[in-house]
């Protein structure tokens, strides 16, 4: 029996209120209502006659909801054809959300559309007195997302990286995170050497699975708690169909995830190795 209320499990119609073209392939849609989502949760977006797919909630302020998406396949390309005034079906919110304590020093690691839910986390955590180190990475500067929004928040230090060096650090955001964790380890409570930065209390990450795997290994090495947003093919979104179950734990990522603590992530054998499609067939990363 699912604990998700019936009204969240059934699609409700929402109107597209605003469309923002973020990059050539990425758009942000604003819908005219709230699903009451917390940062890290996702919704199921239905285009009648086409398909229904999960999308991370990029923002929900109790009045409107945002979703940021890449146009990469049949459903997302059809979605990209929608414009202001069009109606879509939304269900949710579903899944777990990021957890923090007021006043914590948190590192956020974002790759691809992961920058959108990370902005939602950032906007909420700074209201609770948290200070943030935000590591946003992309292939090149044209693909970086949510920089202006993140820069507009108080108590946020932004660390940008691009694979080709066209903006910020040349390389991966996880390399930048590692440098910071090294510096922090020299300081911190009970340490003789004083670092010029406070220790990081937790790391949150959302992005491509190989980036998440690197964050998982790094935070385990430095013994820092982390919470990672994992994705698998989802159909029902609330624990019924079993399509999003991961080996060998058997947890459903739509219900016990998508945000999973690293203690559990390191026990998922398929993490960073393979995922299953709609028919359950394995595909290696």
The reply to whether 45 sits near ligand FES by the rule CB under 6 A is: no
What contacts 98, CB < 8 A, 6 or more positions away?
A: 38, 39, 40, 121, 204, 227, 259
Tokens of 167: 């903006």
According to DSSP, the β-strands at 226-229 and 259-261 are antiparallel
Other Cβ atoms less than 10 A from the Cβ of 168: the count is 20
DSSP state, residue 23: S
Q: Which is nearer to ligand FAD, 200 or 236 (CB)?
A: 236
Tell me if 28 contacts ligand FAD by CB under 6 A: no
Nearer to ligand FAD, 91 or 181 (CB): 91
Looking at the Cβ atoms of 161 and 229, the one nearer to ligand FES is: 229
Backbone conformation region of residue 103, classed left if phi is above 0, alpha if psi is from -120 to 50, else beta: left
- Tell me which of ligand FES, ligand FAD, none is bound by residue 74, counting a contact when its beta carbon lies within the kind-specific cut-off of 5 to 8 angstroms: ligand FAD
Least distance in angstroms from the C-beta of 233 to ligand FES: 8
Among 22, 31, 37, 54, binds ligand FAD (CB under 6 A): 54
CA distance 250 to 247: 6
Do you find a cis peptide bond into 248, omega within 30 degrees of 0? yes
Check the CA dihedral 12-72-281-211 and report its sign. Answer: negative
Closer residue to ligand FAD, CB minimum distance, 14 or 131: 14
Window 185 to 244, contacts with ligand FAD (CB under 6 A): 231, 234
Query: Nearest approach, Cβ of 161 to ligand FAD (angstroms)?
Result: 18
Q: How many CA atoms lie within 13 A of 160 on its CB side?
A: 18
Residues binding ligand FAD: what is the number (CB under 6 A)? 20
What's the closest the beta carbon of residue 126 comes to ligand FAD, in angstroms?
21
Alpha carbons 96 and 164: distance in angstroms, whole number: 34
Q: Which two tokens stand for residue 102?
A: 């007021």
Is residue 56 near ligand FAD by the rule CB under 6 A? yes
| Residue 137, both tokens | 């990475």
Q: Distance between CA atoms of 16 and 195, rounded to whole angstroms? A: 48
Site residue total, ligand FES (CB under 6 A): 12
Establish if 91 lies at the interface with ligand FES (CB under 6 A): no
Residue 101, preceding bond cis, omega within 30 degrees? no
Binding residues for ligand FES restricted to 217-246, rule: CB under 6 A? 234-237, 239-244
74 binds ligand FAD (CB under 6 A): yes
**Is residue 27 part of the contact set for ligand FES (CB under 6 A)?**
no
Residue 55 interface partner, choices ligand FAD, ligand FES, none, CB cut-off 5-8 Å depending on type:
ligand FAD
List residues binding ligand FES (CB under 6 A): 234-237, 239-244, 252, 254
Binding-site ranges for ligand FAD (CB under 6 A): 42, 51, 53-56, 68-70, 72-77, 113, 116, 231, 234, 258
């Amino acid at each position: 029996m699912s604990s998700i209320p019936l009204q969240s499990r059934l699609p409700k119609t929402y109107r597209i209120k605003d469309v923002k073209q973020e990059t050539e392939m990425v758009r942000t849609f604003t819908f005219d209502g709230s699903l009451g989502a917390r940062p890290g949760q996702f919704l199921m977006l239905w285009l009648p006659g086409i398909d229904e797919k999960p999308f991370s909630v990029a923002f929900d302020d109790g009045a409107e909801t945002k979703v940021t998406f890449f146009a990469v396949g049949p459903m997302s390309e059809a979605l990209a054809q929608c414009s202001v005034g069009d109606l879509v079906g939304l269900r949710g919110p579903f899944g777990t959300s990021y957890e923090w304590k007021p006043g914590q020093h948190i590192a956020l690691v974002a790759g691809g559309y992961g920058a959108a839910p990370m902005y939602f986390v950032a906007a909420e955590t700074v209201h609770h007195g948290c200070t943030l180190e935000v590591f946003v990475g992309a292939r090149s500067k044209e693909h970086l997302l949510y920089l202006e929004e993140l820069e507009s928040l108080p108590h946020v230090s932004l660390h940008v990286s691009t694979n080709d060096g066209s903006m910020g650090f040349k390389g991966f955001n996880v390399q930048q995170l590692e440098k910071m964790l090294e510096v922090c380890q020299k300081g911190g409570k009970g340490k003789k050497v004083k670092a010029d930065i406070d220790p990081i209390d937790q790391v949150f990450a959302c992005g491509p699975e190989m980036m998440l795997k690197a964050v998982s290994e790094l935070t385990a090495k430095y013994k820092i708690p982390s919470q990672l947003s994992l994705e698998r093919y989802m159909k029902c979104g609330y624990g019924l169909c079993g399509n999003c179950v991961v080996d060998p734990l058997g947890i459903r990522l739509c219900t016990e995830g998508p945000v999973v603590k690293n203690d559990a992530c390191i026990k998922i054998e398929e993490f960073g190795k393979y995922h299953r499609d709609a028919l359950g067939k394995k595909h290696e990363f």
